[in-house]
Amino acid sequence: MKPHETTDRRVDHLVERLKDDALSESELAEVRDIIRNQPQARRRMVRLLYLAADLRDVVGNWHGRMVSKPNVPIMQRAVWTAVGGLAATAAVFLLVMQPWNRVGPEVGGATGGVVEAAAHDPDSDAIAVIARVRDPKWMEGTTIPESQLEQGALVGAGTLEIESGLVQIDFYSGATVIVEGPAKFGIVESGRGSLEHGNLWAHVPPPARGFQIESGVFNVVDLGTEFGMKIRPDGTGEVHVLDGEVKVVSEKAGTKRERMIEKGHGAVLLADGGSHEIPARPEMFAISGKLDVEEMERFSKWQDFQTTLRKDPDLLIDYDFQDLSLWGRTLPNMAEYGPSDTNGAIVGCGVTEGRWLGKGALEFRNSSHRVRVNVPGRYDSLTLACWVRLDAQKSAEMALLHPETNQEFFVHWGLVNIQGGGMHVHFAHSFPDEDGEELRRHYHCDWNLLRNGSLGKWMHLAVVFDNAAGRISHYQNGELIGVSEIVDKKPLGIGISDIGNWPSHEWAKGTIWEVRILIGAIDEFLILKRAWSQDEVRAHAELGGDL
């Protein structure tokens, strides 16, 4: 089992809870994670939903029955309506992603009921998910806006043309296709794609049986489970069956031909619609392995860097978010010389996939989610750095590290929404004045963190408070984005604080500042008691990510 892959037993339990309309907020987060990051568990969930749905009863005049039975829970209606009319995968997406949102302690303060769907939700047109990408270079034949082709994005029908790189598409039918550039691939509908030229690998589980790839005069129908396909610009190509069986259908000049191809065999596809059998060559289509290998190489480099970093005597906190269980609520501090008793306490957050395959992370989704920390001491300088993914802007401010305010020395580090769109960094430190009253200094960085389309992407953020140099520096993805002169060179303290939330919000009740929950995920958080140089910040960003 891959790291953080949900067990079959747990998937079975979640499906039963989903069918009973009994998912808790934490279980809902687990289902979201399975959909986004766990293909094997997602396929099992799809299969179970298919088996559970009595399609003969559901496919009838379902709409009329829904109107006549309004007491059926809305989540349950959404699931089985979608199962009957579309596919089990679409049902799960409609349930946990859009538009039937369960309302609990979510941002915005709603306390119950159901959010009424808009007249038209753009995501309702989606038929697939861009599950993973690796360095794609998009070409002019791409009809879906590049801003909508980020990892995790829901997409409708359209064409993807890449000069180089890899793109994994998870269709709502349950089929998975990985396309390797140079290639031109069409997302046609939930059970059908097209390949004008290029290489692809397809995995088609039982619920998606019948998934088709069209190419010129050929139509490849998968009967389960795995095949590779290569099409040249002149329309000729090859099909290689890696597991199961496919049917190749061609029709040209009024002549229709069919060929069944089983595991271990392949076929050369000719321009006139003919074909002849060849042995399958699995090595030609080890595309899925390329994604895994490249991500594991990045992961390995980061691990080597972490081994050295942990021995730094100035490292106070090193939360790497690795090896967390779904049930464990402790976030270990991996800094070898860090203060004692500085493990974090996880509240509500769900465990999810981080920047790469095998990298752990915590997901923050509602106003209860946070990591509670206690970092004692006073420091002349501090460096704070984290890898964070922002998924939405739903509050005036989003906390990275916010303190209990009944302390003498503490810091705020957060992100503030910019009027008209965007987000910038805010840092503040508090200390007692001569009369013992709290005095606070604020430092805002006017750089828009989202100007390069960073929403939904992993990004590296760092702030360096250097009392000796008299300046505070802000960084995004290793680049310096703002510098301010320190007004009061006072000691810094952290004390009891929340990562991804804030504990002291009584004074802000009823204002736009009351909710400061981070909507997204964090998979690394560091605090050092010295000022990192720009080169050190850049090294941490470059070795820790894919920038």
Mean pLDDT of 477-485: 96
- 168 contact partners, CB below 8 Å, separation of at least 6: 130, 131, 132, 133, 176, 177, 178, 288, 291
pLDDT, residue 70, reads 34
How confident is the model over 372-388, as a mean pLDDT?
A: 96
Average of pLDDT values for 88-115?
38
Instruction: Tell me the CA distances in angstroms from 336 to 52, 339, 497, one per residue in order.
Output: 50, 9, 21
pLDDT at 516 over 50: yes
DSSP states of 481-503? EEEEE-S----B--EEEEESS-S
Average pLDDT over residues 453-464: 89
Share of the chain above pLDDT 90, in %: 47
Strands of 263-364, DSSP E: 265-269, 275-279, 315-319, 330-331, 344-347, 350-353, 360-364
pLDDT, residue 419, reads 75
**pLDDT for residue 283:** 80
318 beta partners: 526
Ramachandran sector of residue 478 (left: φ over 0; alpha: ψ -120 to 50; beta: rest): left
Q: What is the DSSP pairing of strand 471-476 with strand 397-403?
A: unpaired
Query: What are the pLDDT digits (tens) for 395-454?
Result: 889 999 999 888 899 999 999 988 777 899 999 999 998 888 889 999 999 899 988 777
pLDDT at 315 (0 to 100): 98
pLDDT band at 206 (very low <50, low <70, confident <90, very high): confident
Is-contact 59 82, C-beta < 8 A? no
Distance CA(337)–CA(330), nearest Å, equals: 19
Asked if 331 contacts 347 with a C-beta cutoff of 8 angstroms, the reply is no
Whether the per-residue pLDDT at 52 is higher than 80: the answer is no
Taking each helix axis from N to C terminus, what angle separates 88-96 and 39-52, rounded to the nearest 10 degrees?
110
Of the chain, the end-to-end C-alpha distance in Å amounts to 29
Q: Which of 56-70, 210-224, 240-254 has the lowest mean pLDDT?
A: 56-70
292 pLDDT higher than 80: no
pLDDT at residue 76 greater than cutoff 50: no
pLDDT for residue 10? 80
In the predicted model, is pLDDT for residue 58 greater than 70? Answer: no
Contacts of 29 (CB under 8 A, 6+ apart): 350, 352, 363, 365
**How confident is the model at residue 20, as a pLDDT?**
63
- Answer yes or no: is pLDDT of 459 > 50: yes
Q: What angle do CA 200, 203, 204 make, to 5 degrees?
A: 125
26: tokens are 């934490």
Which range has the worst mean pLDDT, 112-116, 220-224, 297-301, 460-464?
112-116
> What pLDDT band is residue 149 in, cutting at 50, 70 and 90?
confident
pLDDT at 175 over 70: yes
pTM for this prediction: 0.59
Per-residue confidence at 520, pLDDT binned at 50, 70, 90? very high
CB atoms within 10 A of CB 323: 11
Residue 123 is predicted with a pLDDT of 59
Tokens of 258: 């069919």
In this prediction, residue 293 carries a pLDDT of 64
pLDDT of 89 over the 60 cut: no
Q: Which residues pair with 475 in a beta bridge?
A: 462, 480
* Average confidence (pLDDT) over 221-239: 90
Is 196's pLDDT higher than 70? yes
Identify the band that residue 367 occupies on the pLDDT scale cut at 50, 70 and 90. confident
Higher pLDDT, 401 or 147: 401
Nearest Cα to 34, choosing from 49, 20, 56, 51?
Answer: 49
Residue of higher predicted confidence among 471 and 119: 471
pLDDT of residue 53: 44
pLDDT of 108 reads 34
Q: Are 463 and 499 in contact (CB under 8 A)?
A: no
Q: Average pLDDT in the 273-289 region?
A: 80
Q: Which residue has the tokens 């890899």?
A: 166
Q: What is the mean pLDDT of the chain?
A: 81
pLDDT of 189 strictly over 80: yes
Where is pLDDT greater, at 468 or 105?
A: 468
Q: Which pLDDT value is given to residue 321?
A: 94
* 81 against 37, higher pLDDT: 37
Mean pLDDT value of segment 19-29: 72
For the beta sheet containing 410-417, the strands, ordered from the edge strand earlier in sequence to the opposite edge, are: 330-331, 344-347, 370-375, 495-499, 397-403, 410-417, 423-432, 438-445
C-alpha neighbours within 13 Å on the C-beta side of residue 97: 23
Phi, psi of 211 (to 5 degrees): -55, 140
- pLDDT value, residue 107: 34
Spatial separation of the C-alpha atoms in residues 20 and 65, rounded to whole Å: 19
Residue 487 vs residues 67, 428, 430, 472: alpha-carbon distances, Å: 65, 11, 12, 10
pLDDT tens by residue, 237-265: 999 998 999 999 998 877 888 999 999 99
* Cα separation, 384 vs 400, whole angstroms: 10
pLDDT of residue 512 exceeding 50, the answer is yes
Nearest in space to 466 (alpha carbons), one of 456, 474, 458? 474
pLDDT for res 139: 95
Cα radius of gyration rounded to whole Å, the chain: 26
